[in-house]
Amino acid sequence: MDTKLLTEKDIKVAADIIKNGGLVAFPTETVYGLGADALNAQAVAKVYEAKGRPSDNPMIVHIGRASDIGQLTPRLSPDIVALIENFWPGPLTLVVKRKSCVPDRTTGGLDTVGVRMPDSKIALDLITWSGCPIAAPSANLSGKPSPTKAEHVIEDLQGKVDAIIKGPDCRVGIESTVLDVTGDTPTILRPGVITAENIEAAIGKKVAVDPALYVNRPRDVSDEEFKPKSPGMKYKHYAPKADMTIIEGSRDKVKTEIERLRVLNERIGNKVGVILFEERAFIEAAHDFFAKLRELDKQEVDLILAGAMSDTDGVGFAVMNRMLKSAGYNIVRV
Ligand code: TXA
Ligand code: MG
């Protein structure tokens, strides 16, 4: 299906595939998702298979209307209501208590479920017309960078799924913020473009951040607490084929060091790719990062040198989370 030619009928055909237990890749505002009927355990099992994904990794369930969250969870708190009002449709996933109709296959056996209403007309139409909530991880092969363009999905999943909706490039470029709202203090399990500050402003209270998200573990965090609470965070992620190193420090020093390492490595015949965003261009960095990794893979570089972004900004923190994982936490300070 071509973007320009994409019609209502095409989306309806895709919705029928979902309704009948098949797999459809579709665009959202964050990244492309690989969708199946969230309440059909067999359909969900096929998603794990197509992606080559470990089956204890829970999926985000996408809904077409905010009120449909009631199908999935037995209770709403005032915080949850405020978050929905402020951020849905949009890149915020809420981890809530699950109802028993949500299969173990979908939640990876957890008694909670991640729910999100995406801000994309194609995604919302697909969900509405399929008549069921849609479980969808990012539509990449497990371990590869998340897909932000239809061509990325085609590279990874053509022939492995029933349909791929060729929509527009994704506006945000990194996955949604995952926020656990099952306890008294909402906790960010995966950072995204909706930041702790945005959430605090909406609910009027402090938000916690899963300590496992800090590379430099704060001294007062125990080993036990340092384990990621979001199962997906423990896997190898977003890895480009090339070796990747992040350089962190003042802007001038980072530029000098990248140049020094580039020359050094090119001299021994290695192909080097550089990722260096403008210093405070956090939104652009989020938008471009995964696409950049895939582009460098295509160019078959041996080494990627990336300049760190400031993680004191919430969106910068989210970009750095992806960058660190891509580099296997390989970071040099200058
Ligand atoms: O933007 C997004 O969130 C995209 C688009 C397609 O919506 N989806 C996405 O899904 O990134 P996925 O499966 O690649 O990542 C889901 C993340 C994983 O880290 C997973 O562990 C976490 O959300 N997650 C899902 N359900 C959870 C739950 N019940 N408790 C804790 N973490 C959960
Ligand atoms: Mg993913």
215 band by pLDDT with thresholds 50, 70 and 90: low
Nearest Cα residue to atom 19 of ligand 1: 232
In three-state form (DSSP H/G/I as H, E/B as E, the rest C), the secondary structure along 208-242 is: EECHHHCCCCCCCCCHHHHCCCCHHHHCCCCCCCC
Check pLDDT > 70 for residue 223.
no
| Ligand 1 atom nearest to CA at 98 | 29
- Average pLDDT in the 199-216 region? 89
| Ligand 1 atom nearest to CA at 112 | 29
Task: Round to the nearest angstrom and report the end-to-end CA distance of the chain.
Answer: 48
CA dihedral defined by 233, 173, 238, 115, rounded to 10 degrees? 30
Check pLDDT > 50 for residue 2.
no
- Amino acid identity, position 275: I
Nearest Cα residue to atom 20 of ligand 1: 232
- Average pLDDT in the 207-214 region? 89
pLDDT tens profile 20-35: 999 999 999 999 999 9
The answer to whether the peptide bond before residue 133 is cis (omega within 30 degrees of 0) is no
- Average pLDDT in the 72-90 region? 97
DSSP conformational letter for 147: P
212 band by pLDDT with thresholds 50, 70 and 90: confident
What is d(CA 174, CA 57) in angstroms, rounded to the nearest whole number?
Answer: 18
The residues near 333 (Cβ < 8 Å, ≥ 6 apart) are 248, 249
The pLDDT of residue 261 is 97
- Amino acid identity, position 295: E
Check pLDDT > 80 for residue 190.
yes
What is d(CA 23, CA 330) in angstroms, rounded to the nearest whole number?
Answer: 36
- Average pLDDT in the 174-190 region? 97
pTM above 0.85, yes or no: yes
CA distances to 190, 302, 303, 329, 331 from 216, in Å:
16, 27, 24, 10, 11
- Counting ligands in written order, which one lies closest to the CA of residue 143? 2
55 near 108, Cβ under 8 Å?
A: yes
pLDDT tens profile 310-329: 999 999 999 999 999 999 88
CA distances to 51, 160, 285 from 250, in Å:
39, 45, 18
Is any ligand 1 atom within 6 A of the Cβ of residue 110?
yes
247 CA to middle of ligand 1, Å?
28
Check pLDDT > 90 for residue 263.
yes
134 band by pLDDT with thresholds 50, 70 and 90: very high
Is any ligand 1 atom within 6 A of the Cβ of residue 40?
no
Q: Which of 181, 138, 140 is nearest to 158 (CA)?
A: 140
What is d(CA 76, CA 99) in angstroms, rounded to the nearest whole number?
Answer: 12
- Interstrand relation of 60-62 and 134-135 (parallel, antiparallel or unpaired): antiparallel
- Interstrand relation of 112-116 and 92-97 (parallel, antiparallel or unpaired): antiparallel
| Ligand 1 atom nearest to CA at 116 | 7
pLDDT tens profile 141-174: 998 999 999 999 999 999 999 999 999 999 999 9
The pLDDT of residue 329 is 85
Check pLDDT > 80 for residue 228.
no
Nearest Cα residue to atom 32 of ligand 1: 230
Nearest Cα residue to atom 33 of ligand 1: 230
φ and ψ of 234, to 5 deg: -90, -10
107 CA to middle of ligand 1, Å?
10
Ramachandran region, residue 143 (left: φ > 0; alpha: ψ -120 to 50; beta: rest): left
60 CA to middle of ligand 2, Å?
10
- Counting ligands in written order, which one lies closest to the CA of residue 146? 2
The pLDDT of residue 219 is 45
- Average pLDDT in the 173-186 region? 97
165 near 14, Cβ under 8 Å?
A: yes
Mean pLDDT of the chain: 92
What is d(CA 162, CA 23) in angstroms, rounded to the nearest whole number?
Answer: 5
What percent of the chain has a predicted confidence (pLDDT) above 70? Answer: 92
